[in-house]
Every structure is written in C-alpha cells, then in structure tokens.
Structure 1
C-alpha cells in the first residue's frame, strides 16, 4: 500500500523486528529506526523508475512581460520527461536551456519580448529557484505544462506520507536492522524485499505505453509569426 504515514511504517518495522510498540520500551531505538526507514525510502525512490510517480502537472499561465514563475510545488524539475507550451490551442514542445545565444536573439534583460516562448530554465531569484521563460511573452494566450516525476519529500514528521509501497520500504529496512546473529532472518527479509520489489515494479508496468525507436517526434513545432517588442 502506498501513501502510508511515517508513524505507520515505524510500527510495521517494529513488528518485523519484534520490538515492542510500547513507548516505554525501546524508545531510544526510535531515531535509528526512523533514519534507516527514511534512507531506504530515498534510495528506492532514486534507484527505480516508478510509473505511478509520473504525472502531468497543472498548466502555468504565462503573462505578458513576466519572465519568472513559480514551479508546481510537487514537481521535480530535474526529472522531467516533457515540457510543452500550449499556444494557439496546441501543445508545442520546448527545450530547457537559456544562455548567451538566446539572449543575443531576444535580450530579456533589455526588455525585449516575443511570442511564442521556446525555452525554459531554472534560475535562482533571491533565495528561491524559479522558472524562467524565454523569450519574455509579448502577449497572452500561452501556458506551460510539465510532465515528469513527483518530487521526493523526506520522511521527517509522523504524519509525512511515503509515496512508495509500505511493505517494500519496511522489508529493506528490516533486512538491515535484523540482529547479525540471526542470519536466517536477514536472508529471509532480504529475499522478501527483492520479491516485493519485482512484484511492485511488474504491477506498475501494466498497460504502459510502447514506443518505436528512431522515428522522432510527430508533434508539430511552432509555425507562427514571431512578434518582437521592445
């Protein structure tokens, strides 16, 4: 089951390790249990492509003359599959990267504006990472939409939610924390964890889209008139 609270994972781990859930018993072990759970959760998140964590994020409406925008809160902008600019009622793929070459064409610092937006990038504005678009929009009617992976959030507070399968995370943590003298228990839990991983990944691939390699994109590129405004 996904989206279990951190406190629930902790209780499950205690059960796997036969540790009493009584707050008065083994309370000193709790920080270590939480650390191991959190670490295995993050490792599993990074190590595998989880289809159920991919989503299309809400569109970001672009405003005339506005250069910077907030990213969707749950979006990991380093794990994106596709970015489109909705313009003229159609999605047009755009690229990440705004550098000297782009600014030489349309200098955002000098107030140059043009349609449509063709590139995006991440910029540190103050102490916040924000979305920059290029060129700066000259008019309205555009919206960016991102498709990618849900951002990882650490398990810190008891109510924090684990986005991955609860049994998978707990079994990996239990395999590490089982007493060294109980080698049979360690092997059994690791075997169960690997089996669970295979099952969860296979289940997540059901009905996935297939692709033909080498054919390129059939989506239309921009074919409009460029409007430049100073």
Structure 2
C-alpha cells in the first residue's frame, strides 16, 4: 500500500492514467477539476472502510466543571469506537448515551459533578459530552481521570502540492480517473483495476478465522439419559 503520496505526484499519476499531458502548464485549465476529483475520491475511500492505519488512540484530561469536549478536532465523531476513563489505575469503558434518566441522577445543567465520568454522547457543534461533569482535573503523571478515545481520525485534505494522501495512491488515482472520464476506454479500465485492488486490499486487512489443520479432536458428547422401556421379568 503506497500511502503518503504528495498531491503533485497524484496529479501526475491521474494524468498518466488518462493518457493526457504530464506538463503542468498544459493542465492549468483543468487542474482544479483534477484536484477536486482526487479529493472526492479519497473522501469516498475514507468513508467506505475503517482503514486500520487511520485508527488512533488519544488521551485527553478531564477538566473539572467541563461538560463538552472538542474530540471532533481529531476524530470523525460518527466513527468513535470507544471512550475509556482511567480510574483507580485501570481503564474503564464508558457507556454511550445520556438521557433524562441520567440527568435526574446528576444534572449537568445544574453543574452537578462527580468522579469518574461514566457515559458519553455526541453533542452539538462537533463536540462530545461527558457525563457526569467531572469534579477533578486529570492527572498527567498517573493519567488518573484521563479519557482515552479510540476511533478513525479525520482525513487530511489535498490542497497544496506537498500535501500527502492518507489512502493508497493507486486506489485514489484509479477511481478518480474512472470518475473523471467514465465513458472512455481509459476510465473503464481504471475502474476495473481499482475494484480489483480494493477487493484485494480489503481481503488482506480483514482478519481470517483460525483453523487447525488436523481438526480439533473428538468433541465430548452430551450426556444422554438411557431410555428404559417396559420392565419384563427374566424368563418372560
């Protein structure tokens, strides 16, 4: 997987795939359009699959009296997988969802506080609400009262020539070429190659079920009570 390819290199790859001139001066009129297709393609690929290399874990301190947190600056909120809090020297996973029943116990509107935080939800303005409101700042030495967020990070856009792609470059320029010129021979060939590469990459990244070459041995049979029919005395 070739990641980290610069935008200027992606433009060269796209133009080569479309059999157009590689000279930037010959592409001045369509450069913005080409960049648009590359960006939209990368965004689609990012949304299509939870790429393992884009999964991150970051620690944030709980702030006493703070209800909302800006985890959305680093993570796609819809793809946060779990949030944990360090309490008593161990990580405890928070439950998702905060409703009226929880506010009846600890009303965040009234600034009622307690440690540790126990739940989270996606709030307005790309923020995460932690409930209840913490009453103690996180300790950077022990990480006590810190929260750990695990999820898929946000995508870095391709704007400057030196910006680098987060997704495999072949997937980006091949799918971009197929969208840029869908009815052309080049576009159709690019789509076919892109689909094959995407399937292969997903196959490599999908965990395989383990199996034993020689089987798992004889399995214990469940106990069955013997069936006794009508009793017949000996000799009868």
TM-score surpassing 0.5?
yes
Task: Report the CA distance between 1:95 and its aligned residue.
Answer: 2.0
| 1:137 match | 134
| 1:225 match | none
Structure with max Cα Rg: 2
Indicate how the Cα distance of structure 1 residues 110 and 209 shifts in structure 2: closer, same or farther if over 3 A, else same.
farther
Task: Report the CA distance between 1:209 and its aligned residue.
Answer: 8.6
Q: Is the 8 A contact 2:61 2:146 kept in 1?
A: yes
The 1-side partners of 2:25 and 2:65 are apart by 61
Task: Report the CA distance between 1:210 and its aligned residue.
Answer: 7.0
Deviations 1:76-133 (A, max 9, x none): 1210222111111111111232232221111122221112211122334xxx533321
| 1:162 match | 165
Task: Report the CA distance between 1:72 and its aligned residue.
Answer: 6.3
Larger strand share, 1 or 2: 1
Deviations 1:180-212 (A, max 9, x none): 4x43x333222211121122223333xx4979x
Q: Tell me the secondary structure at the aligned position of residue 115 of structure 1.
A: coil
| 1:65 match | 65
Q: Is the 8 A contact 1:63 1:139 kept in 2?
A: yes
The 1-side partners of 2:73 and 2:6 are apart by 20
Task: Report the CA distance between 1:35 and its aligned residue.
Answer: 1.7
Deviations 1:9-30 (A, max 9, x none): 1111111112223233132121
Indicate how the Cα distance of structure 1 residues 197 and 109 shifts in structure 2: closer, same or farther if over 3 A, else same.
same
Where in structure 1 are there 5+ consecutive unaligned residues? Answer: 212-230
Where in structure 2 are there 5+ consecutive unaligned residues? Answer: 138-143, 211-236
Q: Tell me the secondary structure at the aligned position of residue 121 of structure 1.
A: strand
The 2-side partners of 1:209 and 1:84 are apart by 28
Q: Across the two proteins, how many residue pairs are aligned to each other?
A: 203
TM-score (norm 2): 0.76
CA-based RMSD: 2.4
